[in-house]
């Protein structure tokens, strides 16, 4: 019995970081309880198939890439990224049923993304191409983080709009009211953050005007882009920015893999109290949530107060991704 009274939602989720999948590499990944094989063909295309060979069920991730196909270790049948069998080395005719199942895949923002829908429906919303995650000149080198968390994707998304916990659990500056706007599968929340005097070094706090804005945009339940602005450089007075791509991938009902790609603009990257502190703050912050996520239960009718943030709005929004007939 799951701790959560809802199924795994549909949407775009992460299979692996692009940099973890070199040409010729083959990997087993799990998405929503299903084992998949991801591989990068010799021409550099990422591909994903059901991990178990349609022939006699051998694990394809133990095979290798040959040209544009993955070759099963057991009898060397080969399958391309569309799941078509491209070779059976000892048969005169390839059986028509020799097709490996696949799921829609997109590679963008340095992530190999897969679409999960339990009824096999096609993707009906796009993934954004995010400025800062595709080698643009303004940004410093990205940092990456991957964590396995003992909770579900809904709870991770709820954390973003739970504005009071930032102050009390994470000891972060207070947010002003978080505003959330919903447009179908897209959810946009904007928070203004007031920095207390003791949060940053004095010189930095003075220079800052102590007010930043964090905009979080979710594309379905698995993808959130966090864009921070208003970080003023003490050296140049220029405004710095922060970017975080947060991909939450359901492994099973109560396990989620969180993958973060994050960076700051070059103009604040080497100011210790600014660029590195922002990155450090985000990285260590998520660790505060883990013990709570591990044991907390889901309250269907929570007692909320003003100042709690748009928690019910988030819950209402995410419902659409449990509708298995959707689109
Ligand atoms: S089980 Fe894969 S080729 Fe036979
Ligand atoms: Fe949190």
pLDDT digits (tens, 9 = 90+) for 10-47: 999 999 999 999 999 999 999 999 999 999 999 999 99
CA 62 to centroid of ligand 2, rounded, Å: 38
Question: What local confidence, expressed as pLDDT, does residue 327 receive?
Answer: 58
Superfamily designation of domain 11-116:
Rieske [2Fe-2S] iron-sulphur domain (2.102.10.10)
Interatomic CA distance for residues 260 and 195, integer angstroms: 24
Q: Say whether domain 143-322 belongs to CATH 3.90.380.10.
A: yes
Average confidence score pLDDT of the chain: 90
- pLDDT tens-place string over residues 55-69: 999 999 999 999 999
Residue of 26, 37, 49, 55 to test ligand 1 pocket, by largest number of atoms within 8 Å of CB: 55
Q: 3 C-alpha to center of ligand 1: Å?
A: 38
Residue reference for tokens 């893999």: 257
Q: What angle do CA 313, 314, 320 make, to 5 degrees?
A: 100
| Ligand 1 closest atom vs CA 57 | 1
The domain spans of the chain are 11-116, 143-322
| Residue from 59, 66, 77, 101 whose mutation best tests the ligand 1 pocket (most atoms within 8 A of CB) | 77
Query: Which of 60, 61, 70, 72 to mutate to test ligand 1, by most ligand atoms within 8 A of the CB atom?
Result: 72
**Confidence (pLDDT) at 274:** 79
Q: What is the pLDDT of residue 238?
A: 86
The verdict on the CB of residue 125 being under 6 Å from ligand 1 is no
pLDDT score at 195: 56
pLDDT at 281: 82
Q: Is 75 in the pocket of ligand 1 (CB under 6 A)?
A: yes
Q: What is the pLDDT of residue 176?
A: 65
Q: Does the beta carbon of 77 sit less than 6 angstroms from any atom of ligand 1?
A: yes
Intervals of the chain under pLDDT 70: 1, 173-178, 194-211, 324-327
What pLDDT sits at residue 272?
77
Residue 80 Cα to ligand 1 middle (Å): 14
| Residue of 210, 226, 136 whose CA lies nearest to 173 | 210
Measuring from atom 3 of ligand 1, which residue has the nearest CA? Answer: 75
For residue 88, the ligand 1 atom closest to its alpha carbon is 3
User: Would the CB of 56 count as within 6 Å of ligand 1?
Assistant: yes
Single pTM value for the model: 0.92
187 in contact with ligand 1, CB cutoff 6 A: no
């Amino acid at each position: 019995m799951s701790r959560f009274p809802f199924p795994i939602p549909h949407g775009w989720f992460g299979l692996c970081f692009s940099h973890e999948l070199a040409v010729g590499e083959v990997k087993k990944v799990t998405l929503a309880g299903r084992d998949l094989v991801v591989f990068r063909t010799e021409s550099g295309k990422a591909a994903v198939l059901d991990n178990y060979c349609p022939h006699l069920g051998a694990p394809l991730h133990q095979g290798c890439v040959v040209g544009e196909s993955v070759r099963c270790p057991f009898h060397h049948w080969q399958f391309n990224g569309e799941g078509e069998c491209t070779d059976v080395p000892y048969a005169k005719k390839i059986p028509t049923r020799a097709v490996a199942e696949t799921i829609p895949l997109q590679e963008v923002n340095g992530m190999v993304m897969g679409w999960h829908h339990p009824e096999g429906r096609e993707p009906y919303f796009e993934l954004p191409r995010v400025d800062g995650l595709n080698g643009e000149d303004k940004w410093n080198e990205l940092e990456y983080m991957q964590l396995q968390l003992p909770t579900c994707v809904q709870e991770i998304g709820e954390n973003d709009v739970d504005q009071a916990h930032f102050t009390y659990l994470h000891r972060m500056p207070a947010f002003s009211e978080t505003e959330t706007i919903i447009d179908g599968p897209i959810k946009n929340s904007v928070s203004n953050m007031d920095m207390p005097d003791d949060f940053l070094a004095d010189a930095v706090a003075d220079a800052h005007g102590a007010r930043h804005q964090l905009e979080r945009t979710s594309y379905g339940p698995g993808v959130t882009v966090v864009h921070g602005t208003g970080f003023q450089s003490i050296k140049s007075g220029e405004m710095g920015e922060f970017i975080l791509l947060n991909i939450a991938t359901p492994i099973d009902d109560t396990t989620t893999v969180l993958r973060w790609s994050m960076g700051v603009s070059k103009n604040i990257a080497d100011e210790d109290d600014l660029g590195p502190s922002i990155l450090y703050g985000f990285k260590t912050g998520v660790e505060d949530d883990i013990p709570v996520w591990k044991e907390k239960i889901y309250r269907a009718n929570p007692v909320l107060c003003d100042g709690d943030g748009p928690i019910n709005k988030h819950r209402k929004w995410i419902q659409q991704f449990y509708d298995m007939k959707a689109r």
